[in-house]
Amino acid sequence: MPAKPTHLVGQSVAFLDAVERASAAAALSRPVLVVGERGTGKEMIAERLHRLSPRWEEPLVALNCAALPEALVDAELFGHEAGAFTGAARARGGRFEQADGGTLFLDEIGLLTAAGQERLLRVIEYGELTRLGSSRPVQVDVRVVAATNEDLPRLVQEGRFRADLLDRLSFEVITLPPLRARRDDIAPLADFFGRRMAIEIGWEGFPGFARPVLEALETHDWPGNVRELRNVVERAVYRWGDPDRPVGAIVLDPFESPWRPRGASAPAAATAPGHGAAADAAASAEIALPTDFRAAVAASERRLLEAALQQARHNQRRAAALLGLSYDQLRHAVKRHRLLAGG
């Protein structure tokens, strides 16, 4: 990972608690597991763990376990000798050897192959690896920080992740809250990204956001979390083009267009108020309206709850996450529809 300043912007209790736990764990050369939805900043927490550690002058090396074909994961992690496989013209050290003395950040660890999991466990336990095509062990001193957006204990129960590897990785587990759970941080984050974009495009100052835009930002659910917010804000600033007036327009869905291909499975688009009104009017004309609106809404809500509970195997916390609800919100809805066991 390139050396760069880490900007962790936020003031919510959940966010500050995660940052504080990362800061405390940084001093220890133990594995840390960072858990969170996409776009919540897992790689930034990994960087903080490295920069605040005694290893801060040594390499910080990253590998996305989902970005490589299964056949190449072992070679990337552990290296290979010349001729170990087709195309291996010369010997090459893997990411562990590159990170020797420093930190190895393994993103999407839940997608690591079974063979990769077994070999990773050995390196973490004994600090020893063997390159592909070699019988000579290599000693390494590497701190592993892993990240995932998966429920690893559930993957262990399903036989898709090694329990002993999870035990080794989870000396400390830092779970990052999604942006919808830290709404007080949306305005400071938007201001930070807006100012940064203003500097990039040469504005002398940043005029901020008009109130309706800020309200739209604060009420959006942000399935892509901080990464999505950054894209929306930076796009809005550069499109606005007027450094003297507060930014007065945003587009939450950059794909929204009257000419957007509408396949059978195309999701409904989310835009700021005033965008896509013609498309919405055309779509509403095709919807069969119910005679009892409240009953139709209740039936639809019940179907969504049942589907989420079934998909989560009746784990209510998991079902709440699937629906973008808090645990208390889900419990209230489940009780309202009498979906509790025996209800």
Same domain, 117 and 256: no
DSSP 80: B
Alpha carbons 229 and 227: distance in angstroms, whole number: 5
Q: Is residue 105 part of a domain?
A: yes
Domain of residue 56, CATH code: 3.40.50.300
Q: How many residues does the chain have?
A: 343
What residues contact 291, with CB distance under 8 A and at least 6 apart?
none
| Single residue among 177, 212, 236 that ends a domain in this structure | 177
Per DSSP bridges, beta strands 103-107 and 32-35 are unpaired
Determine the pLDDT at residue 264: 55
Share of the chain above pLDDT 70, in %: 88
Per the CB < 8 A criterion, the answer to whether 118 and 5 are in contact is no
Query: Do 169 and 190 have their domain in common?
Result: no
- Residue 193, domain CATH: 1.10.8.60
* Residue 2 belongs to some domain of the structure: no
Please tell me whether residues 21 and 164 are part of one structural domain. Answer: yes
244-272 in b/e form (b: 16+ CB < 10 A) is: eeebeebbbbeeeeeeeeeeeeeeebebb
Average pLDDT over residues 205-211: 96
Which of these three, 177, 195, 214, is where a domain ends? 177
- Among 1-10, 245-254, 257-266, whose mean pLDDT is lowest? 1-10
Mean pLDDT of the region 315-339: 83
**What is the rounded CA–CA span in Å between residue 118 and residue 178?**
31
Is 278 contained in some domain? yes
Q: Is the pTM of this model over 0.85?
A: no
Q: Answer whether residue 7 is part of any domain.
A: no
User: CB of 179 within 8 A of CB of 230?
Assistant: no
The helix, strand and coil proportions of the chain, stated in percent and rounded to the nearest 5, come to 45, 10, 45
Q: Are residues 188 and 167 in the same domain?
A: no
Range of the domain at 105: 13-177
Higher pLDDT, 172 or 88: 172
